[in-house]
Amino acid sequence: MTDTRPTIRLKPKANARAIRHGAPWVFDNEIVTDRRTRALAPGTIAVLEDEGRIPLATVAVTPGSRIFARVLDRDPAAEIGPDWLRARIAMALAHRERLHDAPFYRLVHAEADGLPGVVIDRFGEVAVIQPNAAWADRLANDLAEAVVEVTGVSVVVKNAAGRARALEGLDDDSRILIGEDPQAVAVPMNGATYVADLLGGQKTGLFYDQRPNHAFAAGLARGARVLDVFSHVGGFSLAALANGAAQALAVDSSAAALTLAAEGAALSGVADRFATRQGDAFDVLAALADEGAQFDLVICDPPAFAPAKPALEAGLRAYERVARLAAGLVAPGGYLVLCSCSHAADLAKFRTSCNRGIGRAGRAAQLVHTGFAGPDHPQHPQLAESGYLKALFYRLMP
């Protein structure tokens, strides 16, 4: 098999040992490039060799990307086809079925589940695939068929809205691959019911990664006035209301997301305690301060302000600003939850920015809990980017 596929080779100073030990990415400055390798079509399956031409792994190649090759299998002779896809998805499914009684979870978390660049979220009878790497986009139909065969879902949606797709030279054409348009789907989680737009919503329609952090925040929310900023479809606020919060205000710039949040509140039976406010989060935070508003629990879960290293410093300043504005709205003895999904901002940097913002607001705080993504979002031990989500829970002192 290997002699029918193209080969690419590591430079002499590249770290072949890292690949042998499981590193999933090979960067463009680690590969011997010539006219032949640069001409390989994005998504080509190839054999990676070390400098001595000893085969190391089966990889998917994207010559125009900073990540030149993604390791698909440490077996250089692996055949990347339907059987291989079914085996990887079955392995991922076995883990999720141990975690969750109902079929609502992240089914595949990219490199950590052995499917580089592939995200698959399951919503009951519907699966949403984000093929964020060229090889996966080329095999999207095969992926969809494998998901149906392994899980038994009846609908598979391709969501092409991921930021990473542009880096791979891929389009943004989202569509139904198998079955009929699922429209909006009701998702039970943490005692609440959410409404997810699986074709036109953000990412795959719902953020499963925050599930344990929603739950922890909900435990602090009994009897509380809750402010959920960057709320999307009401992730934190609906969980809080379902677990005894007195009232909640969801703030987001997207009218469509807030409409879905309101529908979820109605389905959860908490509509009488739920309100929404559309607008730029920074503007709304400042306006609430001018109004003298106070909340017992304030949560801010913004989009990635620092998705890559060039945006890191500006992103950290934005996190500090969020912390400063939000801290001023927390009643004495109340709680502030600050989240980051930025790959480039590690936990230490993010925490420093949040601490600085709280201090600039003139508030003293206790850090009572640090949360991460749920176990259906496993981390790849050799890929720090797979542990992207951080949630800091503070108690603000009188």
- CATH number, domain of 243, equals 3.40.50.150
How far apart CA 239 and CA 127 sit, in angstroms, is: 23
Query: Is residue 108 assigned to a domain?
Result: yes
> Directed axis angle between helix 347-360 and helix 312-327, to 10°?
40
- For 215-247, the three-class secondary structure string (H helix, E strand, C coil) is HHHHHCCCCCEEEEECCCCCHHHHHHHHCCCCE
Residues 243 and 369 in one domain: yes
Query: Is residue 46 assigned to a domain?
Result: yes
How far apart CA 88 and CA 124 sit, in angstroms, is: 20
Confirm if 368 and 352 have CB atoms less than 8 A apart.
Answer: no
What pLDDT, on the 0 to 100 scale, is given for residue 3? 60
What pLDDT, on the 0 to 100 scale, is given for residue 205? 83
What pLDDT, on the 0 to 100 scale, is given for residue 385? 85
Domain residue limits at 338: 192-396
What pLDDT, on the 0 to 100 scale, is given for residue 20? 94
Residues 38 and 56 in one domain: yes
Which of 182, 213, 235 is where one domain is finished? 182
The one-character DSSP state at 39 is T
What pLDDT, on the 0 to 100 scale, is given for residue 164? 82
What pLDDT, on the 0 to 100 scale, is given for residue 303? 93
Whole-angstrom distance between the N-terminal and C-terminal Cα of the chain? 69
Four-point Cα dihedral 78, 80, 86, 90, nearest 10: 50
The residues of the chain scoring below 50 in pLDDT are 1-2
Q: How many residues does this entry show for the chain? A: 398
Residues 69 and 101 in one domain: no
Q: How many domains does the chain have?
A: 3
- For residues 238-253, one letter each, b for 16 or more C-beta atoms within 10 angstroms of the residue's C-beta and e for the rest, the string is bbbbbbebebbbbbbe
- Sort 6 into a burial class: Cβ within 10 Å, 0-12 / 13-18 / 19+: middle
Active site residue 354: no
Residues 267 and 333 in one domain: yes
Query: Is residue 187 assigned to a domain?
Result: no
* CATH code, domain carrying 21: 2.30.130.10
Residues 128 and 241 in one domain: no
Residue 39, CB-side half-sphere exposure with 13 Å CA sphere:
4
Residues 217 and 271 in one domain: yes
Residues 316 and 373 in one domain: yes
How far apart CA 162 and CA 144 sit, in angstroms, is: 17
Confirm if 25 and 67 have CB atoms less than 8 A apart.
Answer: yes
pTM of the entire structure? Answer: 0.94
Candidates 300, 339, 341, 354; catalytic one? 341
Which of 34, 53, 73 is where one domain is finished? 73
How far apart CA 384 and CA 74 sit, in angstroms, is: 20
The one-character DSSP state at 298 is E
Which of 51, 73, 95 is where one domain is finished? 73
Q: What are phi and psi of 206, to 5 degrees?
A: -155, 150
